[in-house]
């Protein structure tokens, strides 16, 4: 059996950025819909055949908040030097999640591979004043690939191109990088995917048209290259060589608690007595196909929505006063029809509840209030939720 302790998750950005293990992951689930149509006809009892359409895949993941920007950068396909991300950075970004699986006896069993995932939504949630802060993610894709037996290890390697229009690349050396194993679904094909990144644009290369591969010499020849191109090669192998797929992160915090967060409405209004904070981001994704092809040819985001919900035990109407832009000490009426818009909410995270060392922030701008909800329960205190909506947000390590 495969215990979660021996399931090593790794993320491979499709475009820029190196791969990395997924730290502080709490759960990972995937639902694959095969999308087969049953073919029947009038005059016949029973089925004629099945026809396979493009599958659909949904992957969900939950991660403890640890104050690091690394996984956000991987999701946005950005380099490690990037310190601020906006929602637009996630619109065209893709990546692969690979789970490397070992049983209780220490025997490596195989890799589960979810290629070309797009981020559909994510949430930042502080469930109560003593909760561990959590991040949760939803991804959309089409494929689930199981690598096992002689093909059980997924290997990826990147190469930088110097000069020359035809570039010969030695894929593997048999020790540090194990040699590719034949793809059992594709005769004479050893490489699972070859992509070229050029000036920030990544393109899937086609075997024999864009590249060739000689399994005797383990050399791939890329037909057309330009200095500065990055070539990424994926293949399956029987051994791992000396590759390490998961490195323990003992540098960042194990997790951040609710008391390590500071919540500001606008720039200087610290929000007191909050019980819950939820930031939900949704990308309204659309995929386009074409007649004559069984792949997605274009991917886009029609719009994006950021929904913020602030829950509190009702004592004062400070949030409402801020939304109405009035001074609570001298203003005796709050008409919710007169709420302003274009507010900002900042969630700052620190290394401890002393809040002396800033880690990162979630910063939502152009917020407008959309609903207010009171909760009155017998023998309990009255609660009130304020919900605001926007389309703009940044994630940053710059305070």
347 compared with 51, residue with greater pLDDT: 347
Are residues 351 and 268 part of one domain? yes
Are residues 212 and 172 part of one domain? yes
Are residues 365 and 301 part of one domain? yes
pLDDT digits (tens, 9 = 90+) for 80-94: 999 999 999 999 999
Are residues 273 and 216 part of one domain? no
pLDDT digits (tens, 9 = 90+) for 104-122: 999 999 999 999 999 999 9
Are residues 301 and 216 part of one domain? no
Beta strands 145-148 and 153-160 are: unpaired
pLDDT of 191:
97
Indicate the DSSP class of residue 330. Answer: T
171 located within any domain: yes
Q: Where are the alpha helices (DSSP H) in 32-141?
A: 70-75
What's the whole-number mean pLDDT along residues 329-337? 84
357 located within any domain: yes
220 located within any domain: yes
Which two three-digit tokens encode residue 305? 């929505």
Are residues 380 and 282 part of one domain? yes
Say which CATH number the domain at 319 has.
2.30.110
What's the whole-number mean pLDDT along residues 260-286? 91
In whole angstroms, how far apart are CA 383 and each of 35, 37, 245, 316, 388? 45, 49, 46, 11, 17
How does residue 29 score in pLDDT terms, banded at 50, 70 and 90?
A: very high
323 located within any domain: yes
> Looking at the predicted structure, is the pLDDT value of residue 329 above 80?
no
19 compared with 382, residue with greater pLDDT: 19
* % of residues, the chain, pLDDT over 90: 74
Are residues 351 and 283 part of one domain? yes
DSSP class per residue in 123-185: EEEE-STTPBPEEEEEEEES--EEEEGGG-EEEEEEEE--S-SSEEEE---SSSSPPP---TT
pLDDT of 64:
98
> Looking at the predicted structure, is the pLDDT value of residue 236 above 90?
yes
> Looking at the predicted structure, is the pLDDT value of residue 157 above 70?
yes
Global pTM? Answer: 0.92
Structural domain count of the chain? 2
What 3-state class would DSSP assign to 5? helix
Are residues 363 and 287 part of one domain? yes
108 located within any domain: no
260 compared with 316, residue with greater pLDDT: 260
pLDDT of 328:
66
Run of H or E including 121: strand 108-126
Q: Which domain holds residue 176?
A: 153-237
Q: How far apart are CA 76 and CA 365, in angstroms?
A: 20
CB 19 within 8 A of CB 12: yes
How does residue 1 score in pLDDT terms, banded at 50, 70 and 90?
A: confident
> Looking at the predicted structure, is the pLDDT value of residue 396 above 70?
yes
pLDDT digits (tens, 9 = 90+) for 244-257: 999 999 999 999 99
Q: How far apart are CA 52 and CA 36, in angstroms?
A: 4
pLDDT of 325:
85
User: Residues for the chain: how many in total?
Assistant: 399
Are residues 373 and 263 part of one domain? yes
Are residues 195 and 161 part of one domain? yes
Are residues 225 and 318 part of one domain? no
């Amino acid at each position: 059996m495969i215990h979660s302790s021996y399931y090593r998750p790794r993320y491979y950005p499709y475009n820029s950025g190196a791969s990395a293990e997924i730290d502080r992951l709490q759960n990972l689930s995937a639902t694959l819909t095969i999308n087969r149509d049953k073919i029947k006809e009038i005059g016949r009892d029973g089925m004629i055949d099945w026809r396979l359409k493009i599958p659909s895949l949904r992957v969900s993941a939950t991660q403890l908040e640890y104050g690091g920007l690394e996984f956000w950068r991987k999701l946005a396909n950005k380099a490690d030097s990037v310190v601020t991300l906006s929602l637009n950075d996630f619109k065209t970004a893709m990546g692969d999640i690979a789970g490397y699986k070992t049983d209780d006896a220490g025997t490596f069993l195989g890799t589960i591979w979810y290629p070309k995932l797009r981020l559909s939504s994510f949430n930042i949630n502080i469930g109560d004043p003593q909760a561990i802060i959590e991040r949760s993610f939803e991804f959309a894709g089409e494929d689930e690939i199981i690598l096992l037996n002689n093909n059980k290890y997924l290997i990826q390697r990147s190469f930088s191109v110097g000069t020359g229009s035809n570039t010969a690349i030695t894929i593997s050396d048999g020790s540090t990088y194990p040699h590719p194993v034949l793809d059992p679904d594709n005769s004479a094909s050893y490489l699972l995917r070859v992509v070229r990144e050029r000036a920030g644009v990544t393109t899937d290369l086609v075997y024999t048209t864009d590249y060739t591969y000689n399994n005797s010499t383990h050399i791939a020849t890329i037909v057309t290259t330009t200095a500065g191109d990055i070539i990424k090669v994926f293949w399956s192998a029987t051994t791992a060589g000396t590759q390490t797929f998961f490195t323990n992160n003992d540098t960042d915090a194990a997790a951040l608690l609710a008391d390590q967060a500071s919540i500001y409405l606008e720039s200087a209004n610290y929000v007191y007595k909050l019980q819950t904070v939820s930031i939900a981001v949704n990308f309204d994704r659309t995929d386009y196909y074409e007649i004559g092809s069984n792949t997605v040819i274009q991917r886009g985001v029609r719009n994006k929505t950021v929904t913020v919900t602030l829950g509190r035990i009702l004592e004062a109407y400070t949030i409402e006063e801020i939304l109405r832009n009035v001074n609570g000490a001298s203003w005796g009426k709050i008409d919710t029809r007169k709420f302003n818009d274009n507010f900002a909410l900042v969630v700052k995270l620190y290394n401890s509840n002393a809040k002396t060392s800033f880690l990162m922030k979630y910063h939502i701008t152009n917020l407008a209030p959309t609903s207010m909800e009171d909760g009155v329960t017998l023998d309990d205190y009255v609660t009130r939720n304020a919900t605001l909506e926007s389309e703009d947000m940044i994630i940053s390590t710059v305070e």
